[in-house]
Amino acid sequence: MTKFLLIGLDGLRPDFVNDEWMPLLSALKREGTVFTRHRAMFPSETYVNLASILTGLSPDRHGIVANAFLLPEFDTATPWSGDDLGPVEASIRGLPEGLITAPTLGDRLVQSGKRAWIFSGNSAGSARQMHPLIGRAPGHLLFIGADWQASQPRSLAERIVARVSEPPAVDPSVSTTALQNYLIDAFLYLAETSELPEATVLWLGEPDNVLHAHGLGAERTIAELHALDDGIGRIVDWWHGGGRRTEVTMLVTSDHGHITQSRKVDVTGALRFAGYSVGASFADGAEVALVPGYAGNLRVRDGGPTLLASVARTLMAWPETGLLFTRGGDGVEGSVPGTFSQQLVRLQHTRSADLVFTLRTDNDTDAFGYRGTCRFDNELPVGVGYHGGLHPSELSAFLVGLGPPFREGTVSDQPTSVLDIMPTILSLLGEATVGLEGRSLTCGPQPCFVDAHYRVSAGSYAQVLYTTRVGHSLQINGGWRES
C-alpha cells in the first residue's frame, strides 16, 4: 500500500510557481499532474480551508465558518479566533459537538489502525485544529512548530528537539521561513529514523506571512519564495532517493491565494453612523455584534429579522460593501432580498453568522502588476496581501499530484477544489470515502461538471456569483458586486 505525503504552502498563488521565483517547484510540476482549476472554499481563509482539506467537507458540515466568528455557546463576550492555542484547546474540550463537527483525517485513520504525522508551521492555534483528537490517537504525531512543547505526544516531540534542536523563534510580521525550514528538517529526520506512517501532512506557513507583511511582488517576498523553494527541493531530493518515488504519493497544494489591500475602510464606523449600536458581542448592550474585516460577519440581537434586514440594506447602500450572505432563503437568495443564501456557498451551519459580508474588490492590478485589489478593515497597511473573499485570484489555489497514481507531465483543466484532497488520500490508503463531498483525483472517469452563475439584487444593489458543480461538491470561481 502506498504512503501519502501532503505538503501545504499556505497562501501560495499558482502564478508564483514559475521558473524564476520557484524553479524547483516549477520543475516538479513537470513530474506529475498539475490541476489548473483548483479552488478554495469561501471564506478563502486558512482555518476554513484547512478544515475542508482535512475533512473533505464544506464549512456547513465541519463548522469552521470563518477565521474569527461569534460562538456564543463557547464565549458570549469575545469572538472565537483560531490563532491562539488557549481558546482552541478550550473549545475542543468544551464544545459538546467538538470544535470541528466532522471526522478529520487523523480521526478516520485511528479507526482503521493507521497512523498520521502532522507538522504545522502556522500559529499554535491553527496547528491544534489540524488534529483535534490527537490525545486519543496512539502512534500519531502533531508537531506544533510555533509552540513545540504543546506538541503531542510530548515524548516524540522531545526526541525531535533533542536531535534537530528547538524550533527557531520567528516574527510572523516579518517572515517565518526559518521555522518552515526547521519543520522540513524535523520531518526528514523522523522519516529517515522511523517507519513512515500511512499519511503525513507537512503544512508550511509561508508564503502567507510574508505576503501579509510585504506584498505580492516585494523584494522580500521574492527572496522568501526562493528560500521556500529550496526547502521543497530538499523534500524532493528525499522523495527521489531510496525508491520512495514509487512508494510515496505526494500532493503539493495551497489553501488559497492572495490579492492586495488597496484602501482602508471602517465597517464599525459606517454602521454606527447609520444609527446602530455596534460591539464585539452583545455583552455591553450592542444591537449588532460585529467581527470586522475584508471578509467579516455579524449577528443582530435576538436574531431579529427586521433589524437584520435594516442592517443589510445599510450595507447595500454603502459603496465599500462587496457581497452579502444571509441564512435561510430559497437556496439562492437569502432571507433578506438582495443577499445570497449562505446555503448556496455551503456556509450555513448552526454557528454561522446572521450576515456574512465581503468588502468591495476590483480587478485592478497592484504596484507589482498582480490582478485583484480590495478594501480592508484591519491593522495591516495598504499594499500588502490579503484573502478571505471571492475574487478569483484569492480563490485560485495550487495543486500538483506526484507518484504512481498521477500521470507525469500532465496538465488537467478539470475543476477541482480543496474538498478533493481528503477523498484522494483516503482512497489511496484503502479507506472508505462515503459521505465526503469531493472525489478522488486518481479514481474513475472524469466527472461531469456544470458551470452556473447567480445574480440577486435589491434596488440599485446587485451581486453575482460564479460556480461549478462537480458531482456533490461545489466549486466557487468568483463573485462581484455589480452596482
- pLDDT, one tens digit per residue, over 166-218 is 999 998 877 899 999 999 999 999 999 999 999 999 999 999 999 999 999 99
What is the residue-wise DSSP string for 324-388? EEESSTTSSB-SSTTSEETTTTT---TT--SEEEEE-EEEEE-TTS-EEEEEE-SSSPTTSEE-S
Q: What pLDDT score was predicted for residue 473?
A: 80
Q: Identify the pLDDT of residue 174.
A: 78
User: What average pLDDT does the structure give for the chain?
Assistant: 96
Which CA distances in Å does 133 have to 104, 107, 342? 9, 7, 29
Rounded to two decimals, the pTM is 0.97
CA distance 353 to 80: 12
Distance CA 39, CA 19 (A): 23
- Tell which residue, 126, 124, 141, 138, has the closest CA to residue 187: 141
Residue 236 confidence class, pLDDT cut points 50, 70, 90: very high
Q: Give the list of residues 6+ apart from residue 480 with CB closer than 8 angstroms, or none.
A: 322, 323, 361, 390, 463, 464
Instruction: Residue 161: count other Cβ atoms within 10 Å of its Cβ.
Output: 16
Give the H or E element holding residue 315.
helix 305-317
Residue 76 is predicted with a pLDDT of 87
pLDDT of residue 408: 95
Q: What is the pLDDT of residue 110?
A: 97
Banded model confidence at residue 386, pLDDT cuts 50, 70, 90: very high
Task: Reduce the DSSP state of residue 206 to 3 states and report it.
Answer: coil
Q: HSE on the CB side for 245, CA within 13 Å?
A: 8
- 350: confidence class by pLDDT, cuts 50, 70, 90: very high
What number is the average pLDDT over the span 27-37? 96
Average pLDDT value for residue range 107-126:
97
Please name the helix (run of DSSP H) or strand (run of DSSP E) that holds residue 214, with its range, or none: helix 208-214
Measured between alpha carbons, how far is 370 from 294 in angstroms, rounded to an integer? 18
Residue 2: pLDDT band by 50, 70, 90 thresholds?
Answer: confident
Query: 232 by DSSP, 3-state: which?
Result: helix
What CA–CA distance (Å, rounded) separates 312 from 323?
A: 11
Q: Could you report the per-residue pLDDT of 389-409, keeping only the tens digit for each?
A: 999 999 999 999 999 999 999
User: What is the per-residue pLDDT for 483?
Assistant: 80
Residue 279: pLDDT above 80?
yes
- The pLDDT value recorded for residue 41 is 98
The x, y and z cell numbers of residue 224, run together, are 522568501
DSSP secondary structure string, 155-201? HHHHHHHHHH-PPPP-BTTTB-HHHHHHHHHHHHHHHHHSPPPSEEE
pLDDT band at 338 (very low <50, low <70, confident <90, very high): very high
Q: Which domains does the chain have, with CATH numbers?
A: 3-258+388-428 (3.40.720.10), 266-319+321-359+452-481 (no CATH)
For residue 409, what pLDDT is reported?
95
> 3-state class of 205 per DSSP?
coil
Instruction: Name every residue whose Cβ is closer than 8 Å to that of residue 316 and which is 6 or more positions away in sequence.
Output: 324, 338, 458, 459, 461
Per-residue cell: 135: 490525545
Q: How far is CA 269 from the centre of its chain?
A: 29
Express as a percent the part of the chain with pLDDT over 90: 94
Q: How confident is the model at residue 334 (pLDDT cuts 50, 70, 90)?
A: very high
pLDDT at 410: 95
pLDDT > 70 fraction of the chain, expressed in percent and rounded = 99
Q: Across residues 46-67, what is the average pLDDT?
A: 98
Under 8 Å CB-to-CB from 361, ≥6 apart: which residues? 259, 322, 372, 373, 374, 375, 389, 390, 391, 480, 481
pLDDT at 88: 96
444 pLDDT above the threshold of 90: no
Q: What are phi and psi of 169, to 5 degrees?
A: -75, 135
State which amino acid sits at residue 395. L
Distances, alpha carbon 454 to alpha carbons 185, 321, 475, in Å:
47, 18, 13
pLDDT tens per residue across span 247-259: 999 999 999 999 9
1 has pLDDT over 90: no
- On the CB side of 52, how many CA atoms lie within 13 Å of its CA? 32
Is the preceding omega at residue 207 within 30 degrees of 0, hence cis? yes
- Average pLDDT (361-369) is 96
447 falls in which pLDDT band (50, 70, 90)?
A: confident
Q: What is the DSSP string of 42-111?
A: SS--HHHHHHHHHHSS-HHHH---SSEE--TTT-SSS-EESSSHHHHHHHHHH-TT-SSSS--HHHHHHH
Q: What is the mean pLDDT of residues 277-299?
A: 96
Measure the N-to-C terminal CA separation of the chain; round to a whole number of Å: 54
**pLDDT in the model for residue 273:** 98
pLDDT bracket for residue 149 (50, 70, 90): very high
